[in-house]
């Protein structure tokens, strides 16, 4: 029996064909109308507008991100679809106008409340107080941009709970009655916050859902849930403070080689009996002794027994009571503040980072925020990118010899940093005079900064020398951003991170309002500061004083950005002694320490903003207890 020609069969039965064809065509049209109306339904629409007073869309779109940037700085985000059989509300869907705040008991943590957000039996959670509102919004926004909406935020105070509710963020009441201010790392209240995390884990695991618990000072760069699903046998998967690589791919770190503490800022729990037993004992340990730090307690418990390996392939290890299956998330892609900001380990290994946790930094909460801004992964309000007084920036000048020649040691490190510091000091003075926000330059270092003696970098780490170091390695970021009394320190000087103008969230109207300033020799024919040439460049005499700067730039207050070609010899100095004293009093406090010299106590060395005024200045640690103080 041979093959029939189907087209011939169709033409022979033309009436029947036309009937079927018409029916199919009508069905397609009605289906398209239904899908279009569902996608653009107001119930699930999400637009990230400035009127919502929430941070804009992510500047760094990563693999798995679902947001698309469109012209004019807007964001086109695929509208989330409701999960089949669920009544899960859309994140960022604000309550209707005129609605009232539900009673507090509505937000009590229950299995039913968690169940409303669960997807594939997983819930992703963080918690905090109102002081960390911007961190929490950043955390939520990164996850939703990555297509992860099975999340919940625990509010430790009612101010945060109400604020998140009105922004459409799923929130529950932790009943902590916590202060709304920043409590500071290491304080008694900080330790109380850590304990709340343990109580939360112990309360949520009996609900029967997997729990990815996170600190608010971390951000997700890639959807972690598929990675965690690769290890279904793991009871607990935790991040670590490991700073040297144990693997070069995306496998779990080798537990036999991990010497850093297990960091509880990112860890995933499955509701197994072993995991629930660990959470319960961890909670009881902290209740019995309020001096135990939550992370130390966790490490003590899981190290009670460590080994043998669960099998030859997974990388899991038996821990705690011998039955708990533990996995260590690779520090190269579940990054600490060191492996991400200092080493860039994921980049060197050609991997994609899943997360960054702002550990290994030296300026408190302000330092954490600044590091995330440097990496362009923090969501700020629109006004952050358009300061009323405008911005000042400059092109730093660094000779190749200071960066690359000679050994990387204390002398070459401080010579390099001091050379940059002097230029920054001049820029701070000009920014103060012009009342502009200073965009800090990239800061280059030859040596790492830590809390303990080291030979310049951590042995076995992937730290390159020299490297672009975070601002808090040299400068006291928390002091720079602090409101100091003007009568003692002169006018405040706002700063921005070095990557500020590279951020996609930067408004076009700011970047388009730009004036370049070139320094010139006073008296030369082309050195006329009262005009700009045809290329839009203003020529300014070197060693200008305060009066000249004010006279030249006062007509240019509407220019958003003024960029100096150099800060070397740009400013002669304050002629008014009172102003000079206040400025010195301020900026001397802007620099911190390098740490630490081996074999000497104390081992830290203080940076000095006015090192160049001391001909015999050398990078030495304090020689006596009386010398152990900053240079102010």
Q: What is residue 71's predicted lDDT score, i.e. its pLDDT? A: 28
pTM, to two decimals: 0.84
Which of 377, 56, 368 minimizes the C-alpha distance to 220? 377
pLDDT of residue 419: 98
Beta bridge partners of 444: 468
pLDDT of residue 25 exceeding 50: no
Q: Residues with Cβ < 8 Å from 159, sequence gap 6 or more?
A: 130, 180
| Per-residue model confidence (pLDDT) at position 511 | 93
Report the C-alpha gap between 590 and 609 in whole angstroms: 8
Q: Are 219 and 377 in contact (CB under 8 A)?
A: yes
pLDDT for 381:
94
Helix (H, G, I), strand (E, B) or coil at 496: strand
Contact 150, 245 (CB under 8 A): no
Alpha-carbon distance of 306 to 345, in angstroms, equals: 27
Task: Note the pLDDT of residue 526.
Answer: 82
pLDDT tens digits along 384-438: 999 999 999 999 999 999 999 999 999 999 999 999 999 999 999 999 999 999 9
Contacts of 260 (CB under 8 A, 6+ apart): 240, 241, 242, 243, 331
State mean pLDDT over 195-213. Answer: 97
Coil, helix or strand for 222?
coil
> Looking at residue 72, what is its pLDDT?
29
The predicted model gives 117-126 an average pLDDT of: 98
Lowest mean pLDDT segment, chosen from 64-78, 262-276, 318-332, 538-552: 64-78
The pLDDT value recorded for residue 577 is: 96
- What is the overall mean pLDDT for the chain? 86
Residue labelled with tokens 């920036």: 393
Residue-wise pLDDT tens digits, 479-533: 999 999 999 999 999 999 999 999 999 999 999 999 999 999 988 888 876 555 4
Residue 215 confidence (pLDDT) above 50: yes
- Predicted local confidence at residue 43, as pLDDT: 34
Quickly state the pLDDT bin for 49 (edges 50, 70, 90): very low
Q: H or E stretch including 417?
A: helix 410-434
DSSP 419-435: HHHHHHHHHHHHHHHHT
State the DSSP H helix or E strand holding residue 403, giving kind and residue range, or none if neither: helix 400-404
For residue 315, how far is the Cα from the chain centroid?
Answer: 29
The pLDDT, as a whole number, for residue 29 is: 39
> What confidence score (pLDDT) does residue 1 get?
36
**pLDDT beyond 90 at 536:** no
pLDDT tier at 192, thresholds 50, 70, 90: low
CA distances from 581 to 493, 588, 611 (A): 15, 11, 16
Question: CA-CA-CA-CA torsion for 10, 15, 19, 20, nearest 10 degrees?
Answer: -20
Q: How far apart are CA 304 and CA 318, in angstroms?
A: 11
Tell me which DSSP letter residue 612 carries: G
Rounded to whole angstroms, how far apart are CA atoms 73 and 586?
A: 37
pLDDT at 540: 96
DSSP 242-255: --S-S-SSSSPP-T
Instruction: Give the whole-angstrom CA distance, residue 552 versus residue 548.
Output: 6
Q: What is the pLDDT of residues 539-574, one digit of tens each?
A: 999 999 999 999 999 999 999 999 999 999 999 999
Integer Cα distance of 454 and 83 in angstroms: 52
Element (H or E) spanning 206, and its range? none
- In this structure, how many other beta carbons lie within 10 angstroms of the beta carbon of residue 565? 17
- Say which residue the tokens 């009590």 belong to: 108
Segment (H or E) for 341? helix 337-341
Q: Please state, in angstroms and rounded to a whole number, the distance separating the CA atoms of residues 449 and 462.
A: 14
Q: Per mean pLDDT, which range of 54-58, 101-105, 110-114, 337-341 is the poorest?
A: 54-58
Instruction: Evaluate if residue 187 carries a pLDDT over 80.
Output: no
Q: What is the C-alpha to C-alpha distance for residues 94 and 53, in angstroms, rounded to an integer?
A: 12
pLDDT of residue 47: 33
What are the two backbone dihedrals, phi and then psi, of residue 390, each rounded to the nearest 5 degrees?
Answer: 85, 180
Q: Average pLDDT for residues 326-331, to the nearest whole number?
A: 98
Q: What is the DSSP string of 201-233?
A: HHHHGGGT-EEEEE-TTEEESS--HHHHHT-TT
- pLDDT (0 to 100) of residue 529: 63
CA 282 to chain centre: 29
Only one residue has tokens 């958003």, namely 560
Q: In the predicted model, what is the mean pLDDT of residues 320-331?
A: 98
Under DSSP, is residue 592 helix (H, G, I), strand (E, B) or coil?
A: coil
Dihedral, 172, 174, 180, 181 alpha carbons, nearest 10: -120
Q: What is the pLDDT of residues 66-79, one digit of tens each?
A: 332 222 233 333 33
Q: Give the architecture-level CATH label for domain 389-627.
A: 3-Layer(aba) Sandwich (3.40)
List Cα–Cα distances, 62 to 54, 357, 373, 378, in angstroms: 21, 17, 17, 14
Spell out the domain ranges in the chain: 107-357, 389-627
For residue 471, whether the previous peptide bond is cis, meaning omega lies within 30 degrees of 0, is no
Using CA atoms, how far residue 203 sits from 91, 97, 208, 266, in Å, is 24, 34, 11, 18
Query: In percent, how much of the chain has pLDDT > 90?
Result: 79
Phi–psi pair at 581, nearest 5 degrees: -65, -45
Residue where the block lists tokens 């899908």 = 35
Domain boundaries 107-357, CATH class: alpha beta
pLDDT of 44 above 70: no
Nearest-angstrom CA–CA distance, 476 and 473: 8
DSSP letter string, 27-73: HHHHHHHHHHHHHT-TTT-----GGGT-----SS--TT---EE-GGG
Beta bridge partners of 220: 355
State mean pLDDT over 179-191. 57
Least confident range from 59-63, 82-86, 310-314, 464-468: namely 59-63
* pLDDT score recorded for residue 12: 37
* Residues 461, 455 contacting (CB under 8 angstroms): no
Rg (CA), the chain: 29
């Amino acid at each position: 029996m041979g093959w029939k020609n189907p087209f011939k069969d169709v033409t022979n039965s033309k009436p029947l064909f036309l009937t079927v064809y018409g029916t199919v065509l009508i069905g397609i049209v009605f289906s398209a109308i239904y899908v279009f109306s569902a996608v653009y339904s107001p119930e699930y629409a999400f637009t990230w507008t400035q009127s919502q007073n929430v941070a804009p869309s992510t500047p760094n779109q990563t693999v798995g991100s679902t947001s698309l940037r469109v012209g004019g700085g807007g964001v086109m985000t695929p509208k989330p679809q409701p999960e089949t059989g669920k009544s899960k509300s859309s994140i960022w869907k604000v309550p209707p106008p005129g609605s009232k705040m539900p009673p507090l008991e509505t937000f009590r943590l229950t299995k039913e409340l968690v169940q409303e957000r669960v997807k594939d039996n997983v819930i992703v959670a963080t918690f905090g107080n109102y002081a960390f509102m911007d961190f929490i919004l950043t955390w939520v926004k990164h996850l939703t941009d990555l297509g992860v909406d099975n999340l919940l935020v625990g509010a430790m105070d009612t101010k945060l709970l109400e604020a998140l509710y009105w922004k459409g963020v799923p929130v529950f009441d932790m009943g902590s009655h916590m202060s709304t201010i920043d409590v500071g790392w290491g304080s008694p209240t900080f330790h109380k916050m850590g304990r709340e995390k343990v109580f939360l884990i112990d309360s949520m695991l009996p609900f029967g859902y997997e729990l990815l618990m996170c600190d608010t000072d971390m951000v997700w760069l890639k959807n972690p849930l598929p990675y965690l699903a690769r290890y279904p046998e793991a009871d607990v998967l935790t991040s670590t403070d490991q700073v040297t690589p144990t693997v070069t791919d995306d496998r779990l770190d080798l537990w036999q080689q991990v010497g850093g503490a297990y960091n509880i800022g990112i860890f995933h729990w499955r509701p197994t009996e072993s995991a629930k037993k660990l959470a319960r004992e961890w909670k009881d340990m902290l209740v019995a002794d309020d001096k135990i730090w939550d992370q130390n307690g966790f490490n003590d418990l899981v190290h009670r027994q460590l080994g043998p390996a669960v099998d030859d392939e997974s990388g899991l290890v038996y821990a705690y009571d011998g039955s708990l299956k533990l996995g260590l998330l690779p520090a190269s892609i579940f990054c600490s503040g060191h492996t991400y900001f200092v080493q860039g380990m994921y980049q060197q290994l050609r991997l994609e980072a899943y997360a960054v946790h702002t550990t290994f930094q030296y300026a408190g909460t302000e330092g954490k925020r600044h590091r995330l801004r440097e990496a362009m992964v923090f969501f700020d309000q629109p006004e952050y990118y358009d300061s009323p007084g405008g911005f000042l920036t400059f092109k730093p000048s660094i000779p190749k010899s200071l960066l690359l020649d000679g050994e990387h040691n204390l002398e070459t490190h401080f010579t390099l940093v001091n050379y940059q510091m002097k230029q920054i000091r001049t820029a701070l003075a000009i920014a103060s005079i012009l009342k502009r926000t200073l965009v800090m330059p990239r800061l280059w270092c030859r040596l790492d900064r830590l809390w303990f003696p080291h030979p310049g970098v951590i042995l076995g780490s992937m730290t390159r020398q020299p490297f672009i170091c975070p601002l808090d390695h040299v400068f006291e970021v928390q002091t720079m951003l602090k409101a100091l009394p003007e009568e003692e320190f002169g006018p405040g000087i706002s700063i921005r991170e070095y990557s500020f103008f590279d951020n996609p969230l930067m408004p076009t109207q700011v970047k388009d309002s730009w004036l370049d300033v070139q320094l010139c020799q006073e008296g030369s024919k082309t050195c006329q500061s009262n005009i700009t040439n045809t290329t839009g460049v203003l020529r300014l005499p070197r060693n200008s004083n305060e009066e000249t700067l004010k006279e030249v730039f006062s007509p240019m207050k509407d220019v958003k950005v003024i960029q100096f070609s150099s800060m070397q010899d740009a400013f002669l100095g304050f002629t008014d002694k009172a102003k000079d004293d206040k400025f010195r009093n301020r900026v001397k406090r802007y620099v911190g320490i390098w740490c630490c010299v081996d074999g000497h106590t104390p081992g830290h060395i203080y940076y000095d903003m006015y090192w160049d005024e001391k001909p015999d200045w050398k990078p030495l640690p304090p020689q006596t207890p009386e010398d152990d103080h900053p240079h102010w």
